[in-house]
Structure formats: structure tokens, C-alpha cells
Structure 1
């Protein structure tokens, strides 16, 4: 009996087969409906040529809010450019695939984006471990890997054929700014602890912070209070215990993780009457951290690689207008502002290409931007030997209602 005959003779299999076929037909019908819907992001007018840009990001799982907001920001920048005809006779299309913040899924997505969808560039990857998986595939296919949402040092290696181009400051720059501010406040180097994700992302943040401490005082890594947790979990209890059991209780804890485990750490710490100065690198998603903690967020400091989204800089004003047009129901956030910013930079590079728009041409165009202003009122720089546009770090203070722009001097006066 062949497989088809078995289906016909087995009622449960017949039912499963019918449901599967029905679902497939529904999916096809929905795709046709999207193609006919003028409000769909997939629509390509007949007189334009699509420029396909890819994204592998976390759209589900504990880091989903980061990936979703990064996608919102990029889409807002693309919609703005398409509406204003920034690239005449061309339309920017974003193909975003969900990797759930899991490297194995990132690899599958990268093969699909580069081989099947044949995207010109990959933009806005979320995470260090996923980037480590994605970069060799991008390198092999000459696909520019631009504007990843990570400050890891592995993305900042220089080389003659490096296709990785960054917008944001590094984690080392973020943690160095924190350490310098804490020491200026009077906290001793051995009183600064770390809570990090147990992978390349957490290791990179810890190494950057430790290097900043060692610029002031020589310390062994084993003497630094350090708790860890496993990626894509909120199993923070052992990490908190490591901090609490350290010989000298830390007066400050730098968190290098995502918002769910970091918020759980803060709640448990406060419940155990442990109230150090908490700080978090930008990857935490300060908006999500504040929202999940409520009143327990009071006094937490987070570093950002973009200014506050409510500031009056030209870029942030343009961002707010673009988000209003794109989808007024989507809350403003630091993450979507970063997505919008990297989208704008990529558009600027593509618009400068004179001739055929290829993957190599996009990488070359990014490198040829030189010194430019995207609306931050301070120059950004990209070149053949400089693949990081911005080195600025903006601190914000969290309270029970929102995130406020602050200066490091505000921390000293607390």
C-alpha cells in the first residue's frame, strides 16, 4: 500500500490531509490578497523595481520585542523613502524572517535570504550569537551585513574583504562609559559586579567592562562579582546567588542581557533587600525593561546608542513623523529609532550608487559615505578602514513611568 492509499483508508489521516491542504490553500489565497492590497508592504507597483533587503531577527521568544521594534524602524525608513521617491523607479522591500534569537535558525534564514530571496543586503540582525552564525554566510555570498543590533567586538574586526558594517557604539564603549561614571561616583573597582548572558554576547560585555576596570586598577576576573544566566531563559536564580555570595557585596551591577531575565533579576534582588546601582547595556531594550518592572525600575541606568526618541534633533523629529505615517499605533522606542537610523544610512548609501546596484556596490557605497550627518548634529564616519559609523553613548534613567534622558553628572548627584 502506498502512502496515498494509507491516507484514503485511515480517517484520522484523511482529516489531517484535508486540514493541511486547506491551510496551504488559505496561505496561497492570503499571499494573492496581500499582492492586491495597496496597503501591504509586499506591493510592488508595476513601474518600479524592487530592492530586496533581508533581515533575520527575533520575532518570537524572550527577545521578540527587540526584533519586532527593529523591524518597525527599518520599515518606517523604507516606507518614507518609497513615498518620497528617494530611489527613483525603485522600491525598497524588507524580507524579515524569524530566528527566535537562536543561531541554528539564523543559519537557515541567512541561506534563504541570500540564495532564495537574493537580497542585496542584510540589515538589523538582533544579537551576538546569531550574528556570529550569520556573518560567515554573508561573507561567502558577498552580502553586506549592515546595522546589526549588537555591539560585540566580533563584528568590529578589520579586513580587506569585511562585509560587516556597523552603525552603533560597541559594548566595550557602553560598559567603559558606565565604569568611568561609577568610579567617578566613588564606587571602587572591586565593588562593580556583572550579570551576563552565558554566551558570546555576555562574555563580550563582561570583557569590555573588565578591560575598563583594569584601566583604573589591576583585578583578576575571578575577583569580580559575576552572575550568569542561560540564553533564551529567565533562570537567573543561580546568577543572583553568585552576586549575593561574593566576598564583597557589589554596590553596582552592570547587566548584559535581555529584558526578561534582567527584569527578573532586579525583582528578585529587591525582594532580597539587595539594591545596588543597576545599569544595563542597550541590548536590554530599556523601554521593555521599564515597562516590565514598573516602580521597581526607579533609578536603573541604561546606555543607548541613539539619543532619546523625544529629543528635538532633526533625526528624532523625522523618526517620529515617519513612525506616525508608518503606523501611529506602534509606540516609539530606542530600538525602533535605531532601526530607522540604520535604514536611513543604508538608503543614503544605495542612493549614491551610480550604475548597477549589486551586493558589492552596496558595500562599496557604505564605505564611501565618509563623514556625514544623518540628523544627529554630529558627524558619523564610514570608510574602507572604518566600519563603525557612531561611537556615541547616551545614558537614560528609568523610573516607574518612562525613560528619561540624563547625563553622567546626574548619576554623581544621586
Structure 2
């Protein structure tokens, strides 16, 4: 039987599958992942990792000898750019990975872009909608999720067109992630003839929100677009309610809506844009398989674990269009072909949505 190998507490090396060694396909693919498995954003990284593993485990157990064995090596970067750089270098030099998949975060992804350029290493379906990834970044890439501009436009459509807000504040993480979303929200608001009433910032991986809270509460803002991880955003909403704010909040898919909603302890009206439909209620083969496998393994179903699962599904199905010995050269171009021809993926991404974006944007709500 295949065994789970753990190099350190920070490294999860998964040989996925339990088929007999004699029945394993000869081809072997190594994928790397750098996500937050510890720290304030760890729930996001843990769920992403879990979702990828759930499908790869399933795929490796299938009897199709044409499918290669997929090994996922997930490293913890704590949502810190310097650690993401170290992880990427380790994965390339010592693990000789074929591609990165599901990497988490704008600042962490931005920090490794020169490494990816130098090695021409594919970056597949990163958990970020940063605009620089949509503008020929100089290395092989495939993006499944909507861009942050798509998400910002959907939030502004909701706040302005549907709810009538015109006095909107921005509460943003002070790094590349926040800067990307600041630009996106400014552009989306400008298209409606609106400027933010204030832009307040806080430091990444902290709940240091007091100054930003004061800045926003001293304005006449009736809505706040929030950019960050779930802990500081929930803390802000809880404290803003105690400070008298009764307006509307929005945030982007990165936040993990389930974690955000769980940490909010006051009455609040929050809309979070999502890049996939609700895994608990969506329809189709992929949704059904995800729910069945999650229940069988007693795993919680979240947007993040579902996104990881869909990423792994799309990667596995794209292998039929690639020469395994030249995977790094072909996988990023094979995946669009799979996306356009796989009926299960088309059914998933074309489910009912309010968004008019080219890439689908969905919504989740907290209202009480």
C-alpha cells in the first residue's frame, strides 16, 4: 500500500491512492503548492489543500492505467511572501515539481513571479485574482477564477445599482493584495461616477484595525468594501457595530465567506463575491462527486475546499491532452481546451448567476 510521507510539520507530501504497486501507472507527476497552513489565514490554505487532495486521492484510486499517479507536495508559507519564495525554491530544486497548483494569495504570488519566469514553471489556478496574472506575466499560467476587477465590479453593481449606496469606504489590507483591490474598486466606482469617501488600511496578518475603524466611522459612509482575510474583517464588523455603523459590507472570494460569517457576532449585512457556486446546493456531476466524497471522508464543504477540488478535477482531465514527459511545456495550454470541452465543467460554471462578467462571479450573503 502507498504510505503518507511527512518530511516536517510544515511539509505535507501526499502519495495519493491505495492501489497495489503492481497496478500503478508508470507515469508520475509532482505538483507543488505554497499556502497558509498556519497563522491567521490558515483556514483558507488548509481548505484549499484538502480540496485538491480529495480529488487527487479519488483519481489515483481509479483503475485507468492511462492516468499518471499524481503527488501533491504542500508547503506552509503562513501567507508571508518571503516564505513563499523559500518554498518555491525548495520545490523546484529539491522536489523537481512539474508545476505549482492552487498557490494562495496576491502578495505571495507576486513575490515568486521572477522565479517562475526564470524556470518557466507553470502556475495553475492560483487562489488570487490579481490583475498582473491576467496581463501576460511572462511564465506559463492558467487561471480558472474571475479576476479581482470582475469581483469589484460585481460588488459595486450590488452596492450602487441594487441598493443605492453612493458613499462607499474602502477598508483594505496594506500590501499588494490591498493595492490590487483598491485599483479595482476605484475603477468600478469611477464607472458609476463615484469616488471612495475614505480609504483606510491595516497590516497583513494582524487585527490592528483601530485606526482604520476611526477613519471610516468619522465619515458619512453607508457601505464598506473590505479587502483582507476573515479575522480582521470580522473584528472590524463586530467593532463597527458597537461604534454605531449599520451599513452594508462587501468582500471578495479570497476572504473565505464561511469563516468570515462564523466570526461575526453582531447583526450585519454582508455580501461576498464568489468564483464558484455554493458547493452545498449546486447541481451536476462535479458537485455531486464533491459532496459524496466530502461526506465519506467527513470533511466540511466550503468554497475553498470546493475550489481546490475543481482545480484538481480540471488538472486531471487535462492530462489526456499532454505528453507527461513534457508536462511543464503543455499543461497550461491544455487546460483551456479541457475547460471548453468538458461538459461537467461547463455545467458547473454556467449555473444561474447575477453576474454579467466574462468569468463567472457568484454571491453569498449574511443578513441578520
TM-score range for the pair, normalised by the shorter chain length: 0.7 to 0.9
User: Deviation string for 1:235-267 (max 9, x for gaps)?
Assistant: 011111111123xx1111111110000000001
Structure 1 pair 343–358 and aligned structure 2 pair: CA distance change class (3 A): same
Counterpart check, 1:183 vs 2:160: yes
Deviation, structure 1 residue 158: 2.2
Superposition CA RMSD, Å: 2.5
Count of aligned pairs between the two proteins: 348
Contact between 2:246 and 2:268, CA under 8 Å: does it hold in 1?
no
Q: Report what 1:311 is aligned to.
A: 281
Deviation, structure 1 residue 368: 4.0
Q: Report what 1:254 is aligned to.
A: 225
Structure 1 pair 85–243 and aligned structure 2 pair: CA distance change class (3 A): farther
Deviation, structure 1 residue 366: 2.4
| Structure 2 gaps, min length 5 | 8-13, 351-356
Contact between 2:319 and 2:331, CA under 8 Å: does it hold in 1?
yes
Alignment TM-score, normalising by the size of structure 2? 0.87
2:218 to 237, 241, 245: 245
Counterpart check, 1:292 vs 2:263: yes
Q: Report what 1:164 is aligned to.
A: 141
Structure 1 pair 304–379 and aligned structure 2 pair: CA distance change class (3 A): closer
Contact between 2:276 and 2:349, CA under 8 Å: does it hold in 1?
no
Structure 1 pair 243–371 and aligned structure 2 pair: CA distance change class (3 A): same
Inter-partner Cα distance in structure 1 for 2:5 and 2:360: 44
Deviation, structure 1 residue 299: 2.5
Structure 1 pair 271–218 and aligned structure 2 pair: CA distance change class (3 A): closer
Deviation, structure 1 residue 43: 7.1
Counterpart check, 1:110 vs 2:79: no
Q: Report what 1:64 is aligned to.
A: 42
Instruction: Map 1:318-333 to 2 at 5 A.
Output: 318-325=289-296, 327-328=297-298, 330-333=299-302
Contact between 2:17 and 2:61, CA under 8 Å: does it hold in 1?
no
Inter-partner Cα distance in structure 2 for 1:301 and 1:186: 12
User: Deviation string for 1:361-380 (max 9, x for gaps)?
Assistant: 22232254362344352668
Q: Report what 2:111 is aligned to.
A: 133
Contact between 2:32 and 2:100, CA under 8 Å: does it hold in 1?
yes
Deviation, structure 1 residue 231: 0.4
Structure 1 pair 370–306 and aligned structure 2 pair: CA distance change class (3 A): closer
2:249 to 278, 286, 310: 278
Inter-partner Cα distance in structure 2 for 1:361 and 1:345: 14
SS in 2 for 1:377: helix
Inter-partner Cα distance in structure 2 for 1:112 and 1:255: 34
Instruction: Map 1:190-209 to 2 at 5 A.
Output: 191-209=167-185
Larger CA Rg, structure 1 vs 2: 1
| Structure 1 gaps, min length 5 | 1-28, 33-38, 381-388, 401-414
SS in 2 for 1:255: strand
Q: Report what 2:209 is aligned to.
A: 236
Contact between 2:314 and 2:338, CA under 8 Å: does it hold in 1?
no
Counterpart check, 1:268 vs 2:243: no
